[in-house]
Structure 1
């Protein structure tokens, strides 16, 4: 019985430990494609989108993109499944959730609730390995 208890205690400790902070897939580069959005204020829109991911340390990254209102800086993480990621901006009301479709192809979707609610996804391919 003590062996079972010690085994269960060991499992509990192992599951409480954080996952390894391995490098994960590279996000660095310039990503370009189309952005498809919908919202009450701007309706349906399709725009060109270019995202620059300039730095990455293990699963953490940062970058920016330029749009009509100026430059938007963000920082994000690749999730442990090596297929999903998310990013946030200090100046945004929403957030991005994305999926790595292949080494050079991602989908990044923005969701913003509230009075200016909008939702949209960008289908992006890496056009340069350097930002």
Structure 2
């Protein structure tokens, strides 16, 4: 007759529980770092906010109603338009692999917009241009519902 030790079943249960918790932790870490990181944010929409700039030509300026419309997006690539004092410009850009940073350019412009996704409905954008019309400016833009 084989006699079971009373602590053996409890030890095995605790060991399996530890394995289960450890496996769940590894799976959660994988989801957070691998799967969720690959989810590219959607920037399509109309974004508005205040744009603060500085240049030799115009000095310190505040543009109260900066509006950017991102009209289409395929994976990390996107296109859109923005309206400013001299008219409307079309632009295209990319979201970086960190899924937070982006850059866009416009064919007639001499500068670049560098941006950061602050949350699902807020982006920060900064424009820099060199040469004769050197300008620097930033805006915090909210997605319009």
Q: Which runs of 5+ in 1 are unaligned?
A: 1-21
Kindly indicate whether structure 1 or structure 2 has the higher relative contact order, using CA contacts under 8 Å at least 6 residues apart. Answer: 1
In 2, Cα distance between equivalents of 1:45 and 1:83: 27
The root-mean-square deviation of aligned C-alpha atoms, in Å, is 0.9
Q: 1:75 to 1:85 in 2, by over 3 A?
A: same
Match of 1:73 in 2: 90
Do structure 1's residue 60 and structure 2's residue 77 form an aligned pair? yes
Of Structure 1 and Structure 2, which has the larger fraction of its residues in helix? 2
1:115 CA displacement: 1.3
- Larger-Rg structure: 2
The TM-score, its normalising length taken from structure 2, stands at 0.72
Of Structure 1 and Structure 2, which has the larger fraction of its residues in strand? 1
Do structure 1's residue 42 and structure 2's residue 31 form an aligned pair? no
- Of 29, 37, 49, the residue aligned with 1:33 is 49
Asked whether the equivalents of residues 84 and 97 of structure 1 are also in contact (C-alpha less than 8 Å), the reply is yes
* Aligned residue pairs, count: 107
1:96 CA displacement: 0.4
1:88 CA displacement: 0.3
